[in-house]
């Protein structure tokens, strides 16, 4: 049990270190155009669902399905004959919805429905009345880009036809109109922000790139292009194409998260989500270093053959098995644990044998040296036996023991002479 848990721990460490190695693959230099707003290392098991989160509230350009409600023009009137605060006369969203606030103004105040196409936001008052006098403002709001433009025109009503006309008072245009005549309050802004809806859509692009491990950023593969208009282009390699997806309502929710399911080991690499909103000046990049871990292993059926009936008492649940499963989900098969155990036994036996062998050789040498001294002192004559004994060092332990007994016998014989 001890050995097995150690093996488990060791495998876990190995897994983690390899994950760290993979995740530290350096990415190439980032282009100056887009700023990296986040970089993270993410990991899922093979076969699982991977979600690379790429969300940007700033990319939400419409909360409803009209696609173009974020721009609005409104005409306000303030400082009428009696003064008073500004009040909304008429407004219109870029999708074409127009609202006239006062019932008496319906059909009397006209704002071109094509304003957001041709940039002509002029307000036409069919027949000017005394009550129409005041300061008019033409206001253009771009909620998403946080743009705000306003233009003021003062309207004066006169009974003198010769006084009618327009002049500049140093701050704004002053329009003098004869009572009952039409008044055109001119407000023209043809900047593409206000007029070109299709350009805006084309300039809102999100794309996903993928770099296989070791490939620099500038050689990344394009996976997906998503346009605000709803157009999509997929470039993913065939093995990946059917498994990657970005939500269909991505631009409505500002959620461009990439989902990969089921995840495969070959999907590893660096993924990046690029958000571009050209005319609003938004360029963001989010980077994900994706690693794929081993699939979650199911524990092998403990007692499938015989179903425990062959054992006398049904064995209780193995506590280590449960612990291993709950902690790291990696179960070392029984056979492998046994292998390590037996290897341990074999190595221990081998070590014991080697120690024994060394001890025997040392003992033999000691005795041999003693024998030389003895025979040199007593007889002093060189003997053929000595030559033989030189070979003992390479003999096996058993033989050495046997021979040393022989030698002792011979020494004894010589001593008795
Ligand atoms: C703007 O539209 C009005 C009609 O609403 C038209 O009379 C006027 O000439 C237009 N102005 C420009 C500059 O196109
Ligand atoms: C094994 O035992 C389970 C109940 O513990 C039983 O549902 C299953 O059918 C048995 N399988 C065999 C092969 O006997």
Are residue 127 and residue 30 in the same domain, yes or no? no
Nearest CA to ligand 1 atom 5: 112
Clarify whether residues 58 and 202 are in a common domain: yes
Asked if residue 211 belongs to a domain, the reply is: yes
Residue 117 Cβ inside 6 Å of ligand 1? The answer reads no
301 within domain boundaries = no
Angle between helices 2-23 and 334-378 (to 10 degrees): 110
Q: What are phi and psi of 63, to 5 degrees?
A: -95, -20
**Does 236 sit in the ligand 1 pocket, CB within 6 Å?**
no
Contact 155, 134 (CB under 8 A): yes
User: What is the residue range of 411's domain?
Assistant: 338-416
Query: Do 163 and 85 have their domain in common?
Result: yes
- Answer yes or no: is 265 within a domain: yes
Q: Which atom of ligand 1 is nearest to the CA of 110?
A: 5
Q: What is the largest CA-CA distance in the chain?
A: 166
Asked if residue 249 belongs to a domain, the reply is: yes
Which of 293, 327, 350 lies at the terminal end of a domain, its last residue? 293
* Residue burial 193-205, b: 16+ Cβ < 10 Å; e: rest: bbbbbeebbebbb
Q: Is the shortest distance between the CB of 189 and ligand 1 below 6 Å?
A: no
- Whether 175 and 244 map to the same domain: the answer is no
Shared domain for 89 and 191, answered yes or no, is yes
Task: Count structural domains, the chain.
Answer: 3
Ligand 1 pocket residue status of 120, Cβ below 6 Å: yes
Structure tokens that stand for 171 in this block: 């701050």
Distance CA 99, CA 110 (A): 11
Distance 122 CA to ligand 1 centre (A): 6
Nearest to 35 by CA among 288, 284, 289: 284
Same domain, 174 and 146: yes
Q: Which two tokens stand for residue 259?
A: 């989902």
Which atom in ligand 1 lies closest to the alpha carbon of residue 124?
Answer: 5
**Residues 48, 92 within the same domain:** no
282 with 351, same domain: the answer is: no
Spatial distance between the Cα atoms of 151 and 154, rounded to a whole number of angstroms: 10
Positive or negative, the CA dihedral 378, 381, 384, 388 is positive
241 and 272 co-located in one domain? yes
Classify residue 300: in a domain, yes or no: no
112 in contact with ligand 1, CB cutoff 6 A: yes
| 265, 293, 321 - which closes a domain | 293
**Residue 252 is part of a domain; what is its CATH number?**
2.60.40.10
301 alpha carbon – ligand 2 mean position (Å): 11
* 247, part of any domain: yes
Q: Considering the domain boundaries, does residue 80 fall inside one?
A: yes
Q: Are residues 359 and 384 in the same domain?
A: yes
Residue whose CB lies within 8 A of the most ligand 1 atoms, among 120, 186, 187, 189, for a mutation test: 120
CA-closest residue to ligand 1 atom 1: 120
The 3-state secondary structure of 114-149 reads CHHHHCECCEEECCCCHHHCEEEEEEEEECCCCEEE
- Per-residue model confidence (pLDDT) at position 59: 74
Residue 202 shares a structural domain with residue 57: yes
Ligand 1 centroid from CA 121, angstroms: 8
Q: Using the atom order of ligand 1, give the atom closest to the CA of residue 111.
A: 5
Q: How far does residue 113's CA lie from ligand 1's centre (Å)?
A: 12
Whole-angstrom distance, CA of residue 122 vs CA of residue 137: 11
Q: What's residue 341's pLDDT?
A: 79
Residue 80 CB neighbour total at 10 angstroms: 16
**What ligand has the least distance to the C-alpha of 304?**
2
What's residue 33's pLDDT?
63
Q: Please check whether residue 219 lies inside any domain of the structure.
A: yes
In contact, 198 and 120? CB cutoff 8 Å: no
DSSP secondary-structure letter at 106?
T
* Protein residue whose Cα sits closest to atom 7 of ligand 1: 184
Mutation to probe ligand 1, out of 184, 187, 195 (largest number of atoms < 8 A from CB): 184
Q: Quote the pLDDT of residue 32.
A: 39
Same domain, 83 and 184: yes
Peptide bond just before 262 cis, omega within 30 deg: yes
Please report, in tens digits, the pLDDT of each residue of the chain (417 residues total).
555 555 444 554 444 443 333 333 333 333 336 788 899 999 999 989 999 999 887 777 544 444 555 789 999 998 755 567 889 999 998 876 789 999 999 999 999 988 988 899 999 999 999 989 999 999 999 876 778 999 999 999 999 999 999 999 999 999 999 999 999 999 999 887 787 665 556 667 899 999 999 888 888 899 999 988 778 889 988 888 889 999 988 888 889 999 999 999 999 999 999 998 776 667 899 999 999 998 877 655 555 455 544 444 444 444 444 443 434 444 444 555 567 778 888 898 999 999 999 999 998 888 776 555 444 444 444 444 444 444 444 444 444 444 444 545 444 444 444
User: In 3-state terms, what secondary structure has residue 324?
Assistant: helix
Instruction: Decide which of 230, 260, 293 is a domain's last residue.
Output: 293
Q: What is the model's pTM?
A: 0.40
CA dihedral 30, 32, 33, 34 (to 10 degrees): 40
């Amino acid at each position: 049990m001890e050995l097995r848990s150690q093996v488990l721990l060791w495998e876990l460490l190995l897994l983690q270190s390899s994950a760290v190695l993979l995740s530290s693959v350096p990415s190439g230099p980032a282009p100056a155009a887009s700023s990296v707003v986040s970089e993270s290392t993410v990991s899922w098991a093979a076969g699982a669902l991977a979600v690379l989160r790429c969300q940007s509230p700033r990319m939400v350009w419409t909360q409803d399905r009209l696609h173009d409600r974020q721009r609005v023009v409104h005409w306000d009137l303030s400082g009428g004959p009696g003064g008073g605060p500004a009040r909304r006369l008429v407004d219109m969203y870029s999708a074409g919805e127009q609202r006239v606030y006062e019932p008496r103004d319906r059909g009397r105040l006209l704002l071109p429905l094509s304003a957001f196409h041709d940039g002509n936001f002029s307000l036409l008052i069919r027949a000017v009345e005394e009550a129409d006098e005041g300061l008019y403002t033409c206001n253009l709001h771009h909620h998403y880009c946080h743009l705000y433009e306003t233009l003021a025109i003062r309207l004066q009503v006169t009974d003198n036809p010769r006084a009618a006309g327009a002049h500049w008072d140093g701050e704004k245009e002053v329009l003098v109109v004869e009572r009952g005549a039409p008044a055109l309050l001119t407000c023209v802004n043809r900047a593409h922000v206000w007029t070109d809806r299709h350009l805006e859509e084309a300039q809102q692009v999100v794309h996903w790139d993928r770099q296989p491990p070791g490939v620099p950023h500038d050689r990344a593969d394009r996976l997906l292009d998503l346009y605000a208009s709803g157009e999509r282009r997929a470039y993913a390699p065939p093995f990946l194409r059917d498994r990657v997806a970005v939500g269909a309502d991505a631009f409505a929710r500002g959620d461009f998260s990439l989902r990969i399911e089921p995840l495969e080991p070959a999907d590893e690499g660096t993924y990046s989500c690029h958000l571009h909103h050209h005319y609003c000046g938004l360029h963001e990049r989010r980077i994900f270093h994706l690693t794929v871990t081993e699939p979650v292993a199911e524990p092998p059926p403990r007692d499938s053959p015989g179903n425990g009936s062959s054992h006398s008492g049904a064995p209780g649940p193995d506590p280590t098995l449960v612990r291993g499963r709950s902690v790291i989900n990696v179960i070392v098969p029984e056979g492998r644990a046994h292998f390590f155990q037996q290897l341990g036994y074999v190595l221990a036996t081998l070590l014991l044998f080697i120690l024994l062998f060394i001890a025997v050789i040392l003992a033999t040498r000691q005795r041999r040296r003693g024998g030389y001294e003895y025979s040199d002192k007593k007889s002093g004559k060189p003997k053929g036996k000595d030559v033989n004994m030189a070979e003992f060092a390479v003999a096996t332990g058993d033989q050495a023991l046997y021979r040393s007994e022989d030698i002792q016998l011979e020494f004894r014989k010589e001593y008795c002479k």
